[in-house]
Each structure stands twice: as C-alpha cells, then as structure tokens.
Chains A and B, each alone.
Chain A
Amino acid sequence: MLTFVVRRLLYSIPVLLIASVLVFFFVRETTDPLARLKGSGNRDLTLIQRETHRLGLDKPLTTQYGRWLKDFVRFKWGDSLVSGRRVSTDIRDKLRNTLQLIFWGIVASAIIAIAIGVYSAVRQYSALDYTFTGLSFVGLSMPPFWFGLIAIQLLIFVPKETFHLQHPLLYSVGIHSATNHGTLDYVRHLILPVATLSVQLVAGWSRYQRASMLDVMSADYIRTARAKGVPRRVVLFKHALRNALIPLTTIMAIDIGSLFGGLIITETIFGWPGMGKLFFDAINNGDTNVLLPWLMVTAGFIVVFNLLADLLYGVLDPRIRLA
C-alpha cells in the first residue's frame, strides 16, 4: 500500500513537470503580462521597459521557464501584476472559500446521485426511474451557467415578486450578507452556487450509479445471497450497494478536473470570491503571475484526487491489490 502511494506520487512528479512546461509556454504564448499596462494609456516607454526587465521578459523563454520553475517549487510565487499582493496569499485565501463549494458540491451530488441511482436500479423501468433518466439527460444537456441564471430567476426573483417578500429566500451574490454572518445566512448564499456546480455531477453520477447497481444486482453472488434467504433489504444495502459504489468513487475523483472548470462559471455568476473568480479576473487582467500558479495548484489537486480515488478503490474492493 505504502509503496503504491510512493510510486504513484513519484510518477506524478514527471507528469506535473511536463505539465508545467506546457502550461508555462502556453500561457506565455497566449497572454501578455504587460497587456494591462500597455492598454491602460500609461504609455511611458521607460516604465514598460522597466517592467519587461523586472519580470525577466527580455530573457529567452526557456531561461524564463527555468527561473520560474525554480521560484515556483520554492513557493516563491511572486506578486500579482495587478494588485502587487503575494500570489501565494491570494491563492490560499481563495482556496479556503472554494473548498467550501467543492466540499458541499461533492457531498450533495454524491448523496443525491447515489439515492437516485439506487432507487432507479431497484425500481428499474418504474415511472420514477424514467423520470430520473429523463432529468439526467436534461441535466447533461444544459449549460451549467444557464441553469444558474434560471435558478436565480425562478428561485429568487419569481417568489420574491409573487409573494412580495421583503427579503429573498436565497441569495445570489457572495458568501454572506454584509451585516449578518450567521449560519442560516451562509446557507442561503451557499445553496444556489452548490446547485449550479452539482447539476452535471448529479446527472452523470446518478446514471453511473444506476448502471453499476444493475450490474452488481445481476451478479451471481447477489442471487446466491437472495437464494439463501438473506432479506432483500440487507442484500441491497449491505452487499449490492457497497460493491456498486466502487466504480463511482473513481468517476468522482476523475470529475474533479471538470469541477474546477465548473467553479470558473459558478463563482463568476454568484460573485463567490474563490479560485474560479480569481482565475476569471486573472485572465481578464492578463495576470500571468496568477494564472501559472493557479493552473499548477489545480493540477496538483487533480493528481491528489486521482491518487485518493485509487486508494479508495483499494479500500472498497479488497480484491485489488495496490502494489
């Protein structure tokens, strides 16, 4: 087990290293760190030259990469080109807000998806099963940002106008109200972003869970268990569900990549001060000093989550030896 973890971690080093090369050259080729300065009307040539020199942009790209990598691994991520603040501090602060969305997004999606998946498998071809299947197709066929907009309209403004509410039921901007930091207030801010982040996950995972549950239920050992007179409920939840969860964990880990993509949309719509918003602003400002560490940090997260998935896989399925 330990050797597996160590080996996977070691393998992830070259992967991240090559990724860093690609990411660095990609970002530098597409984004001009001085675009904002040049576009601001401050066309003082000496200032631009000074900045070019300070940022080392006058060096060959390969030299720049070497220098950047050396600083990056020593956690010297530099300052934002816009605010002049330390990028590491910024990312740490934003990560704290983003992890709340990720955590609640995964928890909510998993619970709902498993419940739907199990129900649909157990009551295959029932009316509700068809409904869930249809809904999951709808969920997968809808741009998440549109779901967010519609949710704001239908869950905040329509009730507010229909019932002439003084305060809306849910909020669509920020983490909490300016004058109220209570738990209820937090939840009212959290629900819509989490829902927007989760639509595609719930739709995808519930289909997956249904398929894998059906798979397991037709397996011989389940039939044997039933034949031996083990109660249906026990068979379903003790034997079948446990085994049906195994493949889902891997898919969940894999989806973490698209989850970070989803954060860019969700946090932009809901003004959530997290990693997604940070990225969105950094693109618009051409802030390469933020973009590069951002991409590497998410890459790190994705690698770790994939490793976790494999470990979880091993824990859930004892037949698989991690070696």
Chain B
Amino acid sequence: MRRTRRGLGLIVGVMVLSLVAAACGSSSKKAGTTGANAKVPKGGTLVLSAEQELDCADFIATCGNSLWGSWTVGEQVLPRAYDVDTQSGKQVPSILLTGEATLETSPKQKLTYKINPKAVWSDNAPITSADFKYTWDQIMHGKGIYDTTGYKNIETVDTPDDHTVVVTFAQPYPDWKALFGGFYGVLPNHLLQGKDRSTEMKDGFKWSGGPWMLDHWTKGQEIKLVPNPTYWGAHPNLDAIVFKIITDTAAETQAFKTGQIAAMFPQIQLDQASLKTLPDTTLSVPYNFNYEAIWFNTSKPVVSDKAVRQALSYATDRDLIVSQLFGPVAGPSLKPINSFTTPANKEWYEEPFSKYKRDLTKVNDTMTAAGWAKGADGIWAKGGQKANITMRTTTGNKRRELTEQILQSQWKEAGFGLAFDNQKSGVLFGQTLPAGDFQLALFAQTPTDNDPGQCTNFCKANIPTSTNQSGANYTRTDDAQIDSLWTKIDQEIDPGQRKSDVTAANKLLADFVPALPVDPLADVIIYNSAKLGGPIAGNPVYGMYSNMQEWFCKTPAC
C-alpha cells in the first residue's frame, strides 16, 4: 500500500553526484556562516524518523538498494572518494582525497587517487589504498553483490604506496566519479580482510570513516548515531542523532506533529499541504533525480504510430498536472520535467520535450498528416482502428490515479479515448512491463546516478525477452539512430564530445517519444525550525542527511 516506498520505480545503476535544487539555495548559503561559526549551540540529541528500516548494513550486497539504509547509516559512516557539493551541485573530490583524481584516457582509461594522509578510521588506523583495493575486490568477488556496474570495467587496482591508488580500466567508464562513492563507499581492509564481510557488516558495525558512527541499532525501533571522535573533518555539533523507525507515513506525520521527531523527509504527497499551516514548520521541495513519465509500448496498436505518440504529447497539459498535484505542497517552483533527467542533474539536464505544450491544433495537424480522421464520436480512427488506449499504473497510489483522471479528460477533448487497468506494483513491475503487456504505463524512474545514459531504457539490446530479462526497455523502442548514439555515449570518456552527443540523442528521443516525462517525483524536507538549526538542504543522492554534522539543536532537546 502507500506505506511502502521501495518498488515505486526502478533502481538502475550505482549512484552518486549531483545537485541541489534551487529551493534550497537560500538555506545552504547559511551553511558557510553557521558551519564555521563557533557560537552555534553545542550538544543535544536530535530525533529524526526513518521511513524504512535499513534491511541490513551490508551496503554492497543484498542491501545495496536500501535508500534509507544509506541515508541513515551508510553515508554517515563510510568514507567516499567523490562527494556532491551542496552549493554548486558538482561532483567534487571528498575530504578523503587531497584533490581531483588524475584521469588519463589512453592507452587505457586510468585514474590516480591521492588519499588525504589525515584520513583515519575510527580506530585511528589510516585509510589507505589497500582499502580501495579491498572494496573493489569485494564488489567483484563477494557473494550476492547488488550491482557491479563500473567496477566490472576495472582491470586492476594498484597500490604504489599507502596514499596512492591507481585504477586501470579494461573498458572505458565515463561515469568514473561514481566509483568508490555513492552508497558503496570505501570499506576498511584492515578490519574486514580475511573475514566474512557480510556477517561483519549486516547487523551494523561500530567502525566508521565518516562524521558519525553507529551507537546502536534496535531493530524495528531506532538507530542511534554518535560523533566519530577521530573524524578528520568538522566535528558534529550534536551529541547524538536518533532515527526512530516509523514505516507508516501517517504515523510519521503524527510523530512530527506531536514533537516526537524534529524533521522528516517523505515522498511528496498531497495531504502534506496541511502541514504548512503548523507553527514553526518549514517545508521545501527540492528536485532529486526521480521522475515520473508516461511510457508508450511502441509495439502495441495505436501507440506504435509515432504520430499518435506525438499527438498525445501535444494533447497533454503537463503544467496543469504538476500544478494540480504538486502545487499545493511544493508551490509554483516545481515544474514539469522535459527530459529523462531532472533539473537536479544540472550537468546533463536539457529540455528537448519542452516543445510539447498543450496545443489541439498541433494534435489535429499531426494526426491528419498521418492519415487519421475523427469519427462521429469525436475519436480519431484509421483503417477501422479507433484511438482508444488503455493505461496501466500501480493501484493504491492516489496521485497516479488522479494523473490518469486528468489525462482522461484532456485526451478526450483531443479525440483519444483513455481507459485504466491498474495493477499492484509487484505485478506491474514484475510481470506486465517485462512482458510488454501494456499500451501505456505511468510509472517512475528513480536513478541513483547522474549519468545521462539512456541505453538501459531505450536501446534494442535491452528489450526484455524470455532469455534476456535484465533490460529495462519496456517501451520496446527499436530505432537504429537512437540505438547507435546512446550506445556510443555509454563509452565516450571525452566530456565535450559526450555533451554534444547527449544533446543530439535527447532530440531523437523527443521526436520518437517512447515516453513522455511528466513530473519530478520529489522528496519533501519538513522540519521544526524552532528546534532544528543549520544548513538543511536536499541532496539528490544523500538526501537531507548529507551534512548533519553542521546541524544543531536550538533547544536543549530536539
């Protein structure tokens, strides 16, 4: 039901990077001042909520896709090579490195990382190149690893000295900044070598290479973090952070309203609008990487016609959908998205789909040019085939059902009949989409990476078949130009060339319309500003929890 969050979309790839939305710009400016300001109150225990309990703390294996696991524990305790800068939104070297890694592109892609000599684990042992090597080794050879994307392109990890790591690639990997970061991080060789990593980590571990360390994790109840005394960066202001595990969103909201928790970070829901009226409550909706789109099955009748897909895009008032469904919570700043990345991904966001504004004249022109004619019932028809379409989405999701209803009325005016046949999310994602048993589907993508590549979604090789189920090309997009260009992008290391290729490839997608991106499926930052202070912002990868060391309690307990 509405309580589960996972399974909403498809988690593809590894992770990392990106930017923070405009909505947070103002509060993050304060970061520079408060972060260095010694007058900030020290101490206090901050109580927050975790919407999902981390399944386990083995973040490279079975629990690799646990978003909340990473937010509450993983990113707080694991050091990472590249970080996401809150102000500029760029992927930047973290405090673990002394500076940018050196990239060589020939004869093979080769990276040289320099590790900060001050970087230590919580037992004072230095973080060394051996830790990088161990991490790569575990990801490649461990049991039940979640995803090896990128790491499998690596040929060798060399350790010329303790503080130098040289990574040589067999296959080029343009998204290399995502490696040794994201939700995987770097693991301590000296503590795990020769042991069963999964057993050591899965129930939680006390060692840390981040600002916080795990004090305890009472399953089903709470996770407590305390400052890591050996952290070489800015020391946290707070004495402790407790994440209460509250998996029911209604209960979570109540806990916030009764003051049991000081902040929450739920997915956007219509009924959050009423929270805005509460005293001392600050609410903001930064963009993240998630987006929702209408996906056309290009192998099914009616929507296999490109003209129909374009006409439907012209028939859709996406501004209205977003303002109706998100406006009451997010205000006017949240806009429809116009590509298969979101504005949070500043480096790659483009607007090829902005040409699709609601315009019934263009609908008529496009359809007529393709040989369709309106029947007496006002529905387009061609060769005895009526433009009646069935859409599928997940049941029990109020927002999606409302989107369907708005589409139904908009498309009816434009001469298309729309019916619904919604399914439970397990059925939709597990069977219907892979089998291609749909005409239209409304669902979200939740990329955990800023990589612009779209081959997973639109390359012919990724059309799911009975023998190849790993692909996510549910739209059955099979177009030679799209195929070759997006495949090339996945191997292109040169940033300039890659950028121009992506622009061209995006245009191809906007013309072919295998899917129409609609709304950003954002998360909402809600906190009690009378209790909690500090730069509070949403990071598209690390959520609102990426800089908790800079937060402080305004009251003795918060």
Contact = CB atoms under 8 A, between A and B. Distances in A.
B434 interface: yes
A284 B1 contact: yes
A90 interface: yes
B245 A273 contact: yes
Interface in B12-70: 12, 45, 47, 53, 55-56, 58, 62-63, 65
B258 A178 contact: no
Interface in B250-269: 250-252, 254-255, 257-260
A45 B425 CA distance: 19
Contact of A157 (B63, B244, B257): B257
Contacts of A285: 4
B11 A41 contact: yes
Interface centre among A84, A166, A270, A285 (most CB of B within 10 A): A84
Interface of A: 32, 35-36, 38-45, 48, 82-85, 90, 93-94, 97, 152, 156-157, 160, 166-168, 171-175, 177-179, 268-271, 273, 277-278, 281, 284-286
A213 B63 CA distance: 58
A152 B467 CA distance: 52
B251 A270 contact: yes
A93 to B, nearest CB: 6
A32 B426 contact: yes
A196 B259 CA distance: 22
Interface of B: 1, 3-4, 6-7, 9-12, 45, 47, 53, 55-56, 58, 62-63, 65, 146-147, 198, 202-203, 219-222, 242, 244-248, 250-252, 254-255, 257-260, 425-426, 428-431, 434, 464, 467-472, 557
A40 B7 contact: yes
B472 A41 contact: yes
Given A85-B56, A94-B220, A271-B247, A39 B258 contact: no
Contacts of B428: 39
B259 to A, nearest CB: 6
B248 A271 contact: yes
Nearest to A189: B260
B146 A42 contact: yes
26 contacts: A32-B426, A35-B426, A38-B430, A39-B7, A39-B428, A40-B11, A41-B12, A41-B429, A42-B11, A44-B470, A45-B467, A45-B468, A83-B56, A84-B202, A93-B219, A160-B258, A167-B258, A167-B259, A168-B258, A173-B244, A178-B244, A179-B47, A269-B251, A271-B255, A273-B219, A277-B247
A174 B244 contact: yes
B464 A40 contact: no
B434 A43 contact: yes
Nearest to B202: A84
A284 B470 contact: no
Contacts of B260: 171, 173-174, 177-178
A82 B1 contact: no
Contacts of B244: 173-174, 178
Contacts of A172: 251, 254-255, 258
B390 to A, nearest CB: 21
Given A84-B55, A284-B1, 18 more contacts: A38-B431, A39-B426, A40-B65, A41-B10, A41-B472, A43-B469, A43-B470, A83-B55, A172-B251, A172-B254, A173-B255, A270-B251, A271-B247, A271-B248, A273-B219, A273-B245, A284-B4, A285-B4
B220 A286 contact: no
Contacts of A175: 221
A82 B12 CA distance: 19
A36 B47 contact: no
Q: Which 7 A-B pairs have the closest CB atoms?
A: A41-B10, A273-B220, A38-B430, A178-B242, A39-B429, A178-B47, A173-B255
B422 to A, nearest CB: 15
A39 B7 CA distance: 6
Interface centre among A32, A38, A41 (most CB of B within 10 A): A41
